[in-house]
Structure formats: C-alpha cells, structure tokens
Structure 1
Amino acid sequence: MAHAIRFHQAGGPDVLKWEEVTVGDPGPDEVRIRHVAVGLNFADTYFRTGLYPAPLPSGLGVEASGVIEAVGENVTHVAEGDRVTYTSSPLGAYSTERVMPADPLIKLPDGIDCETAAAMTMRGLTSSYLLRRIHPLKTSDTVLLHAAAGGVGLIFSQWAKLLGITVIGTVSSEEKAEIARAHGCDHIIHYRRENVAERVRELTDGQGVPVVFDSVGRDTVAGSMASLRRRGLLVCFGTASGVPPLDAMKLAIHGSLFVTRPALADYIAEPAERAALAGELFGHVAAGRIKIEINQRYALQDAVHAHREMEAGRTTGSSIFVL
C-alpha cells in the first residue's frame, strides 16, 4: 500500500498522521509518480496551521522528486521512467506515491539526483526569481537578506556571489553565521544582539540598501524598512514569524519605499519562464557553482518531529524526507 502524511484538522505538528492511501491510475493530463525524496519547507506549516486554508482532510507538501510510473492521455513532455521534480499545488507531496497533474513536472538532468532535487527545487527556484526577476540588481549592489543560513539563504548567497552582488545576512547564532559565511554571505548581523538597521547603515556608508529580501515577516519588517535607501524595495517573500502589518504612511516616512509580497507560483506559472529559471538553476548546480546542503534528512513517518525541529529554528540549509 502507498502511504501519505495527512491532517484532519488545523493545528500543531501532532495533527499530522501517517496513513495508508489508495493511489489509482492517472487520468488525462496526469501522471502517477513514485517519490524518492520530498522537500520539507517552512511554508508547509502555513497549511498545517490553517494560515493558508486547505479543504480537510488534506495531504501536505508541494515539493518532491521521483520517477514517473504511468502517464495519462495528453501527457507529452514527460514519459514513464523519467526522473522528475516539482514544486506546486495541489498538496500531497508528503507521500510515497501519488497521482498528480503533469504540467508542473520538470525533467531532471543526469547530473542532479533526486535527493538534491527535492532539497532545491522550491528553494532554488525561489532564489532564481528573487535574483533574476524581482529587481534589476547590478554588479556591486548590496542587499540585505534575512535568514541567511536557511535553505533559500544558502542558495541565494552563492548565486549572488556569482552575480557580483554583496549580501548582508542576518542570523540567530554563531553556528549559523559560520554556515552563511561559508556560502558566500559577505557581512553577518546577529539580529538578537545587534540593531539590524544601524548595522546596515554602517556597512553602506549611511545609505542603506536598494533591496531587502525578508522571509521572516512580522518580527523583522520594521528593521527591514529602516534598512532601505530612498525609494528602496522591500521584498516580503515569507512570513515565518507571522504576517507583517504594513502601514502605507510608513513607506513614505522611510523614503517613498516600495513593497511586494511575491509568490513563487506566479513566477513559474508559464512553462517557458519555469524552464528558463530551472535551466539556469540546474546549470549552476550541475557545474558545482552552487552547492546544495542537505543538513537534515528524515523518514516521512517522522513528519511530526521534523516540523517541530523546523519551527524551533533547529535546522539549517535544506531538509528533506527520504523514502
């Protein structure tokens, strides 16, 4: 029998249950995929807690990699036996196998294994659109990146280094500072003992940065705005500490700032753009220019423990479930 992690009510990690599930044959435009590895992302907790509503009962997870075992009618861009990865709705990636739409599947090149793919597809594509689509960043630009030792942070900093962009990263501990530095982060701010905005001003000769990439949310938004130069851009691409309150007048007070709350789905919805972003990402990883750190591996049955670890901030880099 196939198995999946499902939840019947919103709540803490304990609502996650390991259940037997029936997986049928794929219909038109669908495939049946056997997972090899599943991505663990902080955004998964948003669905589990109900911050992002989902019809219940529900599966969980939007990122995984594996092998296609069957294809339905009209599926032409992938075939039985192909190794693929994906990051997309509908929920249900926390499973040993599933039937799902074929459209979001991305074929894996020979140089990237399934575990690496599951660890980097969402994080890597997020880094890709943040650096390549959000703002016309230039060589010699300096940006502020929160959670620099996280899964996105480690990929982002390596990629920024390739582009000649200087990264000021925030971290919560010296251990995470060392990890961030090792992956290309140029300057470290310990946000628990330093004033982020003041340190950013010191590091930029009082000017501030043109862009802040903030995946934390409520706890960091004030410091993020205070770190921006006039007409700077605040990119709120995550809400690990909750949804930040945004007062439009404060945007004016801090220098006519801009703010965006992007979602990865809107940057990979078009097949051509998804292929372009994935191709650039895969090229860097396959060539060794960007290294993917899988620092936590869990059995899928241990999803409750994995969520507790993640929410307690005890993870660094990427985390995956290995099947």
Structure 2
Amino acid sequence: MSILTKSGVVLIEQPGGPEVLKYETIDLAGPRSNEVLIEQKAIAVNFLDVFFRSGRFPLPAYPAPIGLEAAGIVTAIGEGVTSFAVGDRVAYYATTGAYAQKRVISVDDIFRLPDNITFDVAAAVMVKGLTAKMLIRDGYAVKAGQYVLIPAMMGGVGTLLSAWAKSLGAIVIGTVGSPAKKQLAEQRGYEHVIDLQNEDLIACVNVITGGAGVDVIYDSVGKDIFDRSMDLIKTGGTFVSYGGASGWPEVDALPLDQKNIHFVQAQLNNYPGYQHKKGEAMKEVFEQVEKGIFDVQHLLVYSLADAALAHADMESRKTTGSIILKP
C-alpha cells in the first residue's frame, strides 16, 4: 500500500507518568475499503486517558496509541465508501488513537457533525457529555429540589454534570480543591461550593442540608471520599460511582445496608450510548450546548505536541473544565 501522508502522533512509550507520552511523526497509509482519512481539528483529553497512560488499564503492547475522541474533516475515502465524502465534518468517540494530527478510521466509527457544533465543542463534550447523560438519566434520575453532591465539580465531567443537574432544579453541592476554583464556581452561579483545602466536607454539607443529608452523590474521586460519603447520604439515598481518581472505593455492604443506601457502579464502557458510535446518543448532549446549559466558552487548549504537559496539569489539578489538543 502506498504512503499517502505523514502525521504527528502521540504514543505511550511505556506505562508511567506524563513524560512517557512521546510526540513523533509517522508515515500514514491511505484509507482502505470502508475507511476514511481524517485531518483532525480538535482532540479531547479525558481522565480515562491517564488510566491508559499510567498502566492502570494495561495495554497489550508498547509503544501504544492513546486518546478516545476527536473531530475533523474527511480528506480521503477508501474504496466503496458512499456514506461520507471528502470535506465532510465528522467526529468520533470510543475509538483509541485520537492523539494524532491525521488518522485512518472505519466509517462505522464516525458520524457527521451537526453544522452548529464546532470541532472544539465536539471534542470537549462528547465523552464527558455522554458520561453526564449516563449519570443523570441512568445512574440516578435527579429531580428538582433534591440535594446533589458532585465531588470535583470543576473537572471535565464535573462542570457538565453540575450544569445539567442545576438545570433540572437540583440543589447542587460541589467540592473543589482550591479557593481559586471555588471563586470560579461561584462566578458561574453555584451557591454551595466547598473548598476541601480549607473547609470541612461533612460540616459544610450538614449546614447546607440542615443535617438531612444529600439525595445522591455522583462520585469520580473514589477511595479518598467514599467513607465520608456514607455520613453524607440520607437514609435511602444513592451513591453513584463513575470513577476512581484516588483509587476504586472498597465497598462495605454494612454501612450501605444500615442506611438503605443504593450503590450504583456506572461504567461508561458498558453504556449503550457509548458503544453505539454513530452519534445517536449525542443528540441530547448537543442539545445542552444549544440551550447554553453546558459552558463551552472556557476550553483549555494545548498543542498536540504538548500532550504530556496537558496530562501533568490535569493530574496536578491546575485545570478546570474540558481540555482539548490542537494538531
């Protein structure tokens, strides 16, 4: 097969810290049957990427590709492709290898991007928005007036989840890791923001709820917060676990049974909307953008070659909201 073009890519050299992400230029063969070549315009950075990079989610061989979602323009099509044409604006998620300037991908893994959704916005909200949708619609259907605790509310998923819950009339209580992030959250209209660097989580939640506890916790932190969470959830409440940034929680059935707490393990990889890659599940996510519920005006942008720096900043909690890479 003839070489069509060259592409900058980021690969995981071996499991480890951000420094194992290496940018290099590779030869890229043209698309085969049922494939297209995409010139990528915006690439998402997700905390899931950290798990793959660190070896927490082992990969079969190294160097290994990284990244799950991006948006761009079709620049070449393979034999027999009729559903897409050169010039089409497309996006994809749940397909490894997104940290690349250009890539060849199956037409089964991409969908046409709506005209009113920019490349940057698509990369910022696809996986994170689908995660929020999974939690809000399937993990626990939050209702108006309920107390909702969202740890790491200024993270990539946290910002979208907090906004969606607030739009449904829930009373959102969020945690952040610094006074600066608390100020930012308050500027965005959140009344109940707890700075874990300077405030006591349990005491603050008890004041906000009048000691009644929260109806649901949507948690991505995991081990560091799980034990305290049992004291914060009201009897008959729900704990939805969708991540383990500090390690997966060790779930003890006894405290759950004592307060009749419903524990939900929400896994994006098992979510039908994530498995179906043609964008059907994205419609409601993009609606949140159109309604102005999702704040997509404050994206953090790094160059693709600086992917290691983006990872380092995200893990050290220097970032807020969605992070994207630009080739």
TM-score by length of 1: 0.91
Q: Cα offset for 1:318?
A: 1.2
- 1:71-150 equivalences in 2 (<5 Å): 71-72=77-78, 78-89=84-95, 91-150=96-155
Q: Among residues 295, 302, 311, which one is paired with 1:291 in the alignment?
A: 295
**In 2: Cα distance, 1:124 partner to 1:161 partner:** 15
**In 2: Cα distance, 1:191 partner to 1:318 partner:** 21
**In 2: Cα distance, 1:66 partner to 1:235 partner:** 34
Q: Among residues 68, 72, 76, which one is paired with 1:70 in the alignment?
A: 76
Matched, 1:264 2:275: no
Q: Deviations over 1:207-250 (max 9, x none)?
A: 21121011111111112222111122211111211222222223
Query: Counterpart amino acid of 2:93?
Result: T
Query: Counterpart amino acid of 2:314?
Result: M
**Residues 161-170 or 123-132, more deviating:** 123-132
Task: Quote the residue 2:3 is aligned against.
Answer: none
Q: Cα offset for 1:64?
A: 1.0
**In 1: Cα distance, 2:277 partner to 2:313 partner:** 36
**Residues 194-203 or 227-236, more deviating:** 194-203
Q: Cα offset for 1:157?
A: 2.0
Identity across matched positions, percent: 38
Q: Cα offset for 1:272?
A: 9.4
**In 2: Cα distance, 1:25 partner to 1:199 partner:** 57
Task: Quote the residue 1:322 is aligned against.
Answer: 326
**Residues 258-267 or 41-50, more deviating:** 258-267
**Residues 178-187 or 225-234, more deviating:** 178-187
Matched, 1:245 2:221: no
Aligned residues between the structures: 320
Gaps of 5+ in 1: none
What secondary structure, in the 3-state scheme, does the structure 1 residue paired with 2:312 have? helix
- 1:178-217 equivalences in 2 (<5 Å): 178-217=183-222
Q: Is the 8 A contact 1:212 1:228 kept in 2?
A: yes
TM-score by length of 2: 0.90
Q: Cα offset for 1:261?
A: 2.4
Q: Is the 8 A contact 2:124 2:299 kept in 1?
A: no
- 1:39-58 equivalences in 2 (<5 Å): 39-57=44-62, 58=64
Q: Is the 8 A contact 2:223 2:244 kept in 1?
A: yes
Q: Deviations over 1:44-79 (max 9, x none)?
A: 110011001112221111121111223446766544
**In 1: Cα distance, 2:26 partner to 2:99 partner:** 12
Q: Deviations over 1:274-308 (max 9, x none)?
A: 51x41122123134343214442111111121111
What secondary structure, in the 3-state scheme, does the structure 1 residue paired with 2:9 have? strand
Matched, 1:220 2:238: no
What secondary structure, in the 3-state scheme, does the structure 2 residue paired with 1:193 have? coil
Query: Counterpart amino acid of 2:267?
Result: A
**In 1: Cα distance, 2:203 partner to 2:59 partner:** 41
**In 2: Cα distance, 1:130 partner to 1:75 partner:** 36
**In 1: Cα distance, 2:250 partner to 2:260 partner:** 17
Q: Is the 8 A contact 1:157 1:183 kept in 2?
A: no
Task: Quote the residue 1:282 is aligned against.
Answer: 286
Q: Cα offset for 1:8?
A: 2.8
